[in-house]
């Protein structure tokens, strides 16, 4: 498993890691327990403040932990963690600690009670910003309050296509010289 | 430029093309005019009915066309269209027809007035399902009412990272045999 050295990362630049659409691992904590779930339905909503939305199925054990704690950490795994990601997505945290079961390491966050996942190259601490669609639509609006990223890696993120298949992030295409400066 | 042969595609399976997080081209029509914009902030919300959310900056010329017509088509381009995608994202449709300017071909949709873009391998016709966050938050909730996909291609989609750079969809990872049947 790779070792990542995550450092503080500018909140205004988190799109770099979330906008391409990777599968993420959402960690939560409540009343002395912690949990991890896999999530694919999320989107950016703003740069400053850094905001995003995500959909969490209410049948997930994490749903109640996240709804009640009003916090979470969104961690971005790479393909090195593929086996663990799939195993986490196919199990429930109702009766076990997924950190222990899947050999992942919780790390203390700076601003929320939910832990970072050490084995992910990027982690974003989130506080619930707007809960008006949680109850009826399973939709959470977050403000990202702290970002940790290992900038030394070109991360091979996983992008879910359904039916048990993923796309792995491929080559980079640099089109900077075709952009107006104000559009960068 | 590639030629795609799009056919009817099951609405319940559109996640395959949207959940990985590609940049999309949104086409719209209003009062005899049509327009195209580039969009990276979108997410799946449900399978049946097929629902998704997207954020459209209110400064975009398309914003008013989409808000007032309450319809759009979400088209998925591949890297073959990279030059056009960037050019569209760096221009405004206020005073010109982007189909003509960028050599793209509008095709009649089945259920909405906005046109499909012929040069995109997948197109999803959308009707506004919930407008309560449009005014204050630029957030649109859509029901996809018709899907058109060329299933013969493994699409090399573009995923925006900011700063003028994209990730191009890479290799496939098939983990089906690690999933519980009910999770597929």
Q: What pLDDT, in 10s, does the model give residues B24-37?
A: 999 999 999 999 99
Residue A55 has pLDDT above 90, yes or no: yes
B2 lies in some domain: no
Contact predicate A122/A147, CB 8 Å: yes
Q: How far does the CA of residue B108 sit from the closest CA of chain A (Å)?
A: 28
Segment (H or E) for B89? helix B82-89
Res. B93: pLDDT tops 90: no
Determine the Cα–Cα distance for residues B65 and B7; give it in Å rounded to an integer: 27
Question: Cβ contact (<8 Å) for B166 and A172?
Answer: yes
Cβ atoms < 10 Å from Cβ of B103 = 10
Structure tokens at B172: 């496939």
Determine which of B21, B134, B176 to mutate to test the interface with A (most A C-beta atoms within 10 Å). B21
Place of tokens 């974003």: A124
Is A143 part of any domain?
yes
pLDDT tens readout for residues B99-134:
999 999 999 999 999 999 999 999 999 999 999 999
Residue B167: name the closest of B40, B70, B11 by CA.
B40
Neighbours of B168 (CB within 10 A): 17
CATH of residue B20's domain is 2.30.110.10
Q: Give the 3-state secondary structure of residue A111.
A: coil
CB contact under 8 A, B164 and A177: yes
Q: What is the pLDDT of residue A154?
A: 87
3-state SS assignment for residue B17: helix
Chain A nearest CA to B31, separation (Å): 29
pLDDT in tens, A154-183: 899 999 999 999 999 999 999 999 999 988
A152: containing domain: 7-183
* B53 contacts on A by Cβ (under 8 Å): 43, 53, 139
- State residue A162 phi and psi, 5-degree precision: 85, 170
Q: How far is CA A43 from CA A124, A146, B41, B42, in A?
A: 14, 17, 6, 6
- Candidates B19, B43, B165; nearest CB to A53: B43
So what's the pLDDT on residue A9?
Answer: 98
Residue A117 in contact with residue A97, Cβ under 8 Å? no
Examine residue A1 and state whether it is found in any structural domain, yes or no: no
Q: What is the pLDDT of residues A95-134, one digit of tens each?
A: 788 999 999 999 999 999 999 999 999 999 999 999 999 9
Return the ∠ at Cα A51 (arms to B137 and B147), rounded to 5°.
Answer: 65
Q: Is residue A2, in this structure, part of any structural domain at all?
A: no
With a cut of 80, say whether residue B40 has pLDDT above it: yes
Residue B72 in any domain: the answer is yes
Distance, CA of B104 to CA of B125 (rounded, Å): 18
Total domains in chain B come to 1
What's the pLDDT at B161? Answer: 97
The more confident residue out of B87 and B95 is B87
**Alpha carbon distance A4, A116 (integer Å):** 12
What's residue A25's pLDDT?
A: 98
* ipTM value for the complex: 0.96
Closest CA to A76 of A48, A34, A113, A118: A118
**Predicted local distance difference test score (pLDDT) of residue A92:** 78
pLDDT tens, position by position, A1-17: 789 999 999 999 999 99
User: What is the reported pLDDT for A2?
Assistant: 80
Is B1 contained in some domain? no
């Amino acid at each position: 498993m790779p070792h990542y050295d995550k450092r503080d990362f500018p909140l205004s630049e988190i799109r770099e890691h979330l906008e391409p659409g990777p599968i993420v691992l959402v960690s939560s904590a409540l009343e002395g327990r912690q949990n991890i779930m896999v999530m694919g339905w999320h989107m950016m909503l703003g740069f400053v403040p850094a905001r995003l939305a995500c959909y969490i199925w209410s049948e997930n054990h994490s749903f109640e932990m996240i709804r009640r704690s009003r916090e979470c950490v969104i961690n971005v795994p790479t393909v090195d963690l593929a086996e663990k990601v799939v195993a986490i997505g196919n199990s429930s945290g109702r009766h076990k600690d997924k950190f222990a079961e899947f050999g992942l390491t919780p790390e203390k966050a700076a601003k929320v009670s939910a832990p970072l996942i050490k084995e992910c190259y990027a982690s974003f601490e989130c506080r619930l910003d707007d809960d008006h669609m949680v109850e009826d639509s399973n939709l959470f609006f977050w403000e990202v309050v702290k970002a940790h990223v290992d900038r030394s890696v070109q991360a091979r993120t996983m992008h879910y296509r359904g039916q048990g298949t993923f796309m792995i992030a491929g080559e980079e295409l640099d089109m900077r010289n075709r952009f107006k400066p104000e559009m960068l």
